[in-house]
Copies of this chain bind each other. A is one copy, B any other.
Amino acid sequence: MPKIVDHDKQREALLDASFRLFAEGGYDAATMRKIAAAAGVSTGALYHYFPDKPSILAAMFDLLTRRDIARVQGQLPLEAPVPARIAALFAFLRENVEYLRALLSLALEVYRHEPGSASRAYVQTALRSYRTAMADILGVDGTLAEMAFTFLLGSLTYGTLDPDGLDLAQAETFVQGVWTRFAAAQGGPVPASGSAAG
């Protein structure tokens, strides 16, 4: 009988430690030794769970995406009108800015780390999951969803580069304004489904 360790739980613990370090200083700055130390294990133990450094990253993205989606879907305001949904989205954003910024920065960094499509595949997968999740929250799809996602990415990027640069409250007001105007153009406050642009 082997040493009693919940393999999957250990894996997750290691991935969490990894994310912490990746988020701080980026992929390269997070050395295997540091990750191991942060997780309280030896270097060798790391390799017991992951064959190499890139695969840690891949596993981490997978875990986080899965978790995030689950978390978001748990608190979906299913029948609310769009403005309330927008408010919910911004509330989520505000609560998780640091985390989301870190994730995005990491995604961008990884994306160029290897021209081989290997590492890019799971970043795209994650990205699309988040896009779908956002569209579900907003209750909007089509072009408007694309635009909203773009704006969201922009607000994360902007906030990362210049912490004093973007006022999220202002952004929310703006988005509400856009929605109102686009919905009005379609003939009244649309509840939860309207794709207005197209």
Q: How many copies of this chain sit in the oligomeric assembly?
A: 4
B197 touches A104 (CB 8 A): no
B160 touches A26 (CB 8 A): no
Q: Which of A172-198 contact B (CB under 8 A)?
A: 173-174, 177-178, 181-182, 185-186, 196-198
In the assembled complex, the CB of A140 is this many whole angstroms from the nearest CB of chain B, namely 12
In the assembled complex, the CB of A10 is this many whole angstroms from the nearest CB of chain B, namely 18
Q: Which of A93-133 contact B (CB under 8 A)?
A: 104-105, 107-109, 111-113, 115, 123-124, 127-128, 131
In the assembled complex, the CB of A195 is this many whole angstroms from the nearest CB of chain B, namely 10
How many A residues are at the interface, by size bracket? 35 or more
**Which interface residue of A24, A143, A149 has the most chain B CB atoms within 10 A?**
A143
Binding site for B on A (CB under 8 A): 24-26, 28-29, 104-105, 107-109, 111-113, 115, 123-124, 127-128, 131, 143-144, 146-147, 149-158, 160-162, 165-167, 170-171, 173-174, 177-178, 181-182, 185-186, 196-198
